[in-house]
Amino acid sequence: MSHPKKHFKTLSVVVLFISPLLVLADQDHAYQHLAEVMDKYHRTFDVYTDRDAGGNHYYPSHWYNGSDNMTLNTDWRENPHSGFSCVRVEWDGEPGDRWRWNGVMWREPEGFENEDEVPGYDLSGATRLTFRARTNEPGLRIIVIVGYPDDSCGEVRDTVELNDEWAEYEIDLRERNLGHIRGGFGVVFNDRLDPDPDGTTFYLDDIRYDLERPDSLRLLLSFESSNSPADKCCAVNQSYT
């Protein structure tokens, strides 16, 4: 009778000794998770990271040469660079409204008409815009644009050449006035930049400015979707109260 009693007392002491350590470990994990969630969308100023991601800014709503000869899919889930989706741009090589070219601009707000009444975003402090891209047609060149002609930085353009593997590209924005930016990110393509000018397809992902915002207000995510079949048929950027 005495042995079970001694064993019970010993077990009780061990449990009481380990429990505080487990609690401290759980607290450390909780603080670490909170820090990661709080700063998730404030280390950079994102244009696109995933479809409807909470940190996305601007919206692809300005078609340079009509929308009849190209399609834009912001929820392409085959081989994204990161996360569960990327942007797929497909051009059929046809002229569109005029000539054989087209492009799209991510702008703020979506579909604005009166330019004088739209302030745009203040991106002062950013020094570069980076993005990832790949294509099914290596050697394809695209024109990358930051800003509209009337934005504070003017229209910043650069031409980059894509390959069939994901690669990072950079637009240098040092010494640019970024206080009033309505055109956040644009791409333009045409038959002269296409090695086989019968149309092309390319992909974009992780479009962002290197602008930290540690003092901005946070609205923390309480729910994140995955790349599961169930999430594909649902809105991924939702709020729960």
15-29, 30-44, 100-114, 200-214: segment of lowest average pLDDT: 15-29
| 102 contacts 91 by C-beta, under 8 angstroms | yes
Mean pLDDT along residues 220-227: 65
Q: What is the pLDDT of residues 139-174, one digit of tens each?
A: 999 999 999 999 999 999 999 999 999 999 999 999
User: Does residue 64 register a pLDDT over 80?
Assistant: yes
pTM of the predicted structure, to 2 decimals: 0.79
Mean pLDDT along residues 98-109: 88
Task: List C-alpha distances in Å: 125 to 43, 163, 237.
Answer: 13, 31, 28
**More reliable by pLDDT, 108 or 74:** 74
| 199 contacts 92 by C-beta, under 8 angstroms | yes
Average of per-residue pLDDT values in the chain: 82
Residue whose C-alpha is closest to residue 146's, from 117, 115, 112, 180: 180
What is the reported pLDDT for 232? 56
What is the reported pLDDT for 196? 81
